[in-house]
Amino acid sequence: DIVNQRLIPNAIEPRCAIGDYDDSRDYHTLYTSSQNPHVIRLLMCAFVLGLPEHKVRVVAPDVGGGFGSKIFHYAEEALMVWVAKQIKRPVKWTAERTESFLSDGQGRDHKTKAQMGFDSDGKMVALKVETDANLGAYLSTFSTAVPTYLHGTLMQGLYTTPAVHITVNAGVTNTVAVDAYRGAGRPEATYVIERLVETAAAEMGVDPAELRLKNFIPPFDGSDAEPGYQTQVALQYDSGNYEGVLNRLLEMSDYENLKKERETARANGKLMGIGFSTYIEACGIAPSAVVGSLGARAGLFEAANIRVEPTGSVTLFTGSHSHGQGHETTFAQLIADDLGIPLENVEIVHGDTGKVPFGMGTYGSRSLAVGGSAIVKSLEKIKEKGTKIAAHLLEASAEDLDFADGKWTVKGTDKSVAFGDVSLTAYVPHNYPEGLEPGLDETSFYDPANFTYPFGAHMAVVEVDPDTGKVDLKRFISCDDVGNVVNPMIVDGQIHGGVAQGIGQALLEGAVFDESGQLNTASYLDYAMPRADDLPSFELDRTVTPCPHNPLGAKGCGEAGTIGSTPAVVNAVVDALRPMGVTDLEMPLSPQRVWAAMQQAK
């Protein structure tokens, strides 16, 4: 039996909302800390208040974190809109921290029975999983999609297991509603698989890294020669080199010497453990038609409008939402690099239904793979139209032009025209191609054909205090593959944050309800959060396996650290205690819980 305990998101900014009503226009404005303002407007207008959408504007400015908990349309948002009209004055509400504990959409809460079978050569032959998923008292936006489409379909893992059977039983209880929480189904699936693999390695007396390498899906790049891998649970992986990340992890950790260090430590009476986790996740949740049929109450496309001003500066209006992802940097980099203009000439606008096209916001590590792909489509349209204008100005055919470094050049000559000259011509069309519309402003929508599939390998090295049960995390090493990378520093930051949250689940966090549904962990006095002194300096590296089906080759990085880190830490602690006879522990691995397991083993 494997328990994935309930977690509370704890974004640094509590939820808040301001309702404002303009009586002269019969117009509502809602300012809210949401991850997806267009979805909030749709749900509120169509299903709650019955308002026409053109009479409602939803603004979600820079938001202080969300982790999935700010996807859901909460009652307070609709209430602020309604009350503002009743009293003809703006109304503001901000949650206190305990209110956030009691009402924010929560995560995980799975109880699973799982069996994994091997043949005499150590090859996986079957996996059987039955999960009971607690949905809470109400259906949230991604309620039933999380344990099914985002959990059950990831049970293939990285392995060639030929027979996989999944049963998911989802039920409602008198607890807070469960929605997407960083990883949303993928961490739960990975935890089940990786605890089984590590346990199997110990029972068979083989090295856990060798067991994984023996059972990995062989490398493939998603091309016609190496097509995507069709799993036993509906999904088709896009591309992967799973041996590559694990082999790089073994190099980074100096694994052979690390094993010798563990043996020396044990000989000296220390409880040192090494734990692995290899994971795959599905990002950029897609396509809309499929995920909708399996319980998600939202579309999964994204929109991008690129407006080129007459002087050549650019404004991007994106349906993706920024609440800590760094879109203002990465999206501006995409545009500046592609158009050959200075980064400071690009402005990013998001989070305002009165300005940006209908988009789906940010969750599921989708911003670059989905939102970025919509940007690329609009950039191609901008360049296509710009080429026609440039060809007219240069008195050449469009086919004879090359675009690079912010200018169009006639092939084989030094005749060129700059991007700024073309943009000015688009708005002052005195010398202009006949039949071509003025202006340089393009919009695109992108609905992915498939998920993207980042993957990686994580290792935790721990030492357990035999007197107190306290776990000391000595090292954390990871090698992740998130496809092509636009900004390495931002990717590292996302991995750092995800790993910290995953370690928090393994060692510290857990929501506890009593039998009546009363939350017993409703403040930081009772709900432990990871702090800087709980964590070592993370050792990170990457391999690059591009996604074959989106124009950027990007896969997503926002949740990777959360997915791989939790089982690595638990596996390391169990490894440290295995000589004492401990074979399993339930999260969080608090000192009391670990100490009790050691006493029972004695």
- Domain boundaries of the chain, sorted by first residue: 11-103, 105-185, 240-282+453-602, 301-446
The CATH number that domain 105-185 falls under is 3.30.365.10
128 dihedral zone (left: phi>0; alpha: psi -120 to 50; beta): beta
Confidence of residue 62 (pLDDT cuts 50, 70, 90): confident
Please choose, from the candidates 157, 218, 219, 236, the residue with its C-alpha nearest in 3D space to the C-alpha of residue 193. 157
Q: In sequence order, what are the residues at sequence separation of 6 or more whose Cβ sits closer than 8 angstroms to the Cβ of residue 406?
A: 339, 340, 341, 418, 419
What is the rounded CA–CA span in Å between residue 304 and residue 374?
5
pTM of the model: 0.96
Structure tokens at 130: 């039955």
Question: Per-residue confidence at 295, pLDDT binned at 50, 70, 90?
Answer: low
Give the pLDDT band (50/70/90) at residue 602.
confident
Which of 15-24, 59-68, 411-420, 431-440 has the weakest average pLDDT? 59-68
Sorted by sequence, the CB contacts under 8 Å of residue 126 that are 6+ apart come out as 115, 116, 117, 161, 162, 163, 164, 165
The verdict on domain 11-103 having CATH code 3.40.50.970 is no
Q: Rounded to whole angstroms, how far apart are CA atoms 229 and 220?
A: 8
For tokens 């069709």, what's the residue? 230
The CATH code that applies to domain 301-446 is 3.30.365.10
**Identity of the residue numbered 333:** Q
Q: What mean pLDDT comes out for the span 124-149?
A: 94
Strand, helix or coil for residue 111: strand
pLDDT of res. 294: 65
3-state secondary structure (DSSP) of residue 163: coil
**Cβ neighbours of residue 308 closer than 8 Å, sequence gap 6 or more:** 314, 382, 423, 426, 440, 441
Q: Which residue has the tokens 């990378």?
A: 485
CATH placement of domain 240-282+453-602:
3.30.365.10
Residue type, 93: W
Q: Which uninterrupted H or E stretch holds 582?
A: none
Amino acid letter for position 372:
G
Does 240-282+453-602 match 11-103 at the fold level? Answer: yes
Question: Which of 181, 125, 192 is CA-nearest to residue 152?
Answer: 192
Adjacent-strand bridge partners of 134: 171
In whole angstroms, give the CA distance from residue 540 to residue 458: 9
- Contact between residue 105 and residue 10 where contact means Cβ atoms under 8 Å apart: no
Mean pLDDT, residues 314-333: 94
Amino acid 296: pLDDT? 65
